């Protein structure tokens, strides 16, 4: 299969213009903090689209993108689309696919990067203690967004050149399933990238995947080699008063051989 022929299969359905590849139940929708347009969605957009938060992450990811044209790039947990959208804009010959579990985040991503109505998308967040802002719309032909479980995407086997995720590894119920999915879709000589604070939600994550050397060992046991590791801090702004959370994150890049 050539890169240019990579297409997603027909979805289960659509919500507005967003393809749906995971049938979320009413209970799952209610349990998802990003499924309603609330301060979490607004804060995520502002953190990425204003200030250094998104710029720092984009610079880190961009260093390890594959070279050459006609590459298939996938972001799992793409959120409001800042990282993948800018990669698609900067690399018009790449084919980019963004998957997220939350419709409201994908709605924002599509509004900014797949919008036929050029202009600005308004983010009205002052009621949540954050300044209002406007994001310029774009209409990129080389990017697609879809709702999917990150551990079970509709991508074909060995179809992806570069698969990355930011702040997702420690949020999924079972990181091993996320790893298996990345390995399934990755081509030989392809790369996976994990950027995360590795701040697990439950004790099982800490037992299985901490310290980070455990992650490296488990991934290398699966036929990949680590080619990059970096530790750095990133600030998540909470409000206009500059209350913030400082995350210590690790960036890991592995190559399949």
- Give the pLDDT of residue 237: 86
- Give the pLDDT of residue 66: 96
Dist. CA 53–CA 60, nearest whole Å: 11
| Residue ranges per structural domain of the chain | 22-256
Q: Check: CB of residue 254 under 8 Å from CB of residue 212.
A: no
List alpha helices for the chain, DSSP H: 26-31, 39-49, 53-62, 82-90, 103-113, 175-185, 203-209, 212-220
pTM score of the predicted model: 0.95
- Which tokens hold the place of 86? 């800018």
Q: Check: CB of residue 61 under 8 Å from CB of residue 83.
A: yes
Q: What is the H or E stretch that residue 74 is in?
A: strand 72-76
Q: Which residues pair with 97 in a beta bridge?
A: 74, 144
Length of the chain: 257
- Give the pLDDT of residue 4: 52
- Which tokens hold the place of 47? 């953190």
Other C-beta atoms closer than 10 Å to the C-beta of 48 total 23
- Give the pLDDT of residue 240: 86
Residue entry with tokens 């990059």: 228
CATH no., domain 22-256: 3.40.50.150
Q: Check: CB of residue 209 under 8 Å from CB of residue 175.
A: yes
pLDDT in tens, the chain (257 residues): 344 578 999 999 999 999 999 999 999 999 998 987 777 888 888 889 988 899 999 999 999 999 998 999 999 999 999 999 999 999 999 999 999 999 999 999 999 999 999 899 988 877 778 888 899 999 999 999 999 999 999 999 999 999 999 999 999 999 999 999 999 999 999 999 999 999 999 999 999 999 999 999 999 999 999 999 999 999 998 888 889 999 999 999 999 98
């Amino acid at each position: 299969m050539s890169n240019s022929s990579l297409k997603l299969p027909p979805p289960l359905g659509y919500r507005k213009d967003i393809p749906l590849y995971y049938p979320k139940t009413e209970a799952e929708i209610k349990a998802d903090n990003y499924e309603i347009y609330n301060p979490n969605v607004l804060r995520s957009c502002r953190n990425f689209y204003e200030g250094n938060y998104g710029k720092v992450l984009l610079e880190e990811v961009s260093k390890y993108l594959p070279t050459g044209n006609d590459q298939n790039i996938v972001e799992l947990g793409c959120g409001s689309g800042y990282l993948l959208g800018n990669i698609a804009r900067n690399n018009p010959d790449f084919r980019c696919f963004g998957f997220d579990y939350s419709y409201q985040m994908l709605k924002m991503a599509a509004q900014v990067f797949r919008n036929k109505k050029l202009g600005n998308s308004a983010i009205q967040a002052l009621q949540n203690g954050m300044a209002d802002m406007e994001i310029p719309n774009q209409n990129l032909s080389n990017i697609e967004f879809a709702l999917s479980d990150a551990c079970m995407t509709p991508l074909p086997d060995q179809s992806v050149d570069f698969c990355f995720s930011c702040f997702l590894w420690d949020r999924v119920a079972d990181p091993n399933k996320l790893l298996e999915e990345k390995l399934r879709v990755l081509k030989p000589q392809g790369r996976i990238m994990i950027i995360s604070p590795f701040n697990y939600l439950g004790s099982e994550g800490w037992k299985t995947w901490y310290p980070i050397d455990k992650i490296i060992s488990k991934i290398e046991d699966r036929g990949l080699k680590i080619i990059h590791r970096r530790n750095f801090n990133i600030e998540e702004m909470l409000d206009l008063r500059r209350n913030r959370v400082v995350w210590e994150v690790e960036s890991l890049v592995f190559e399949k051989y």
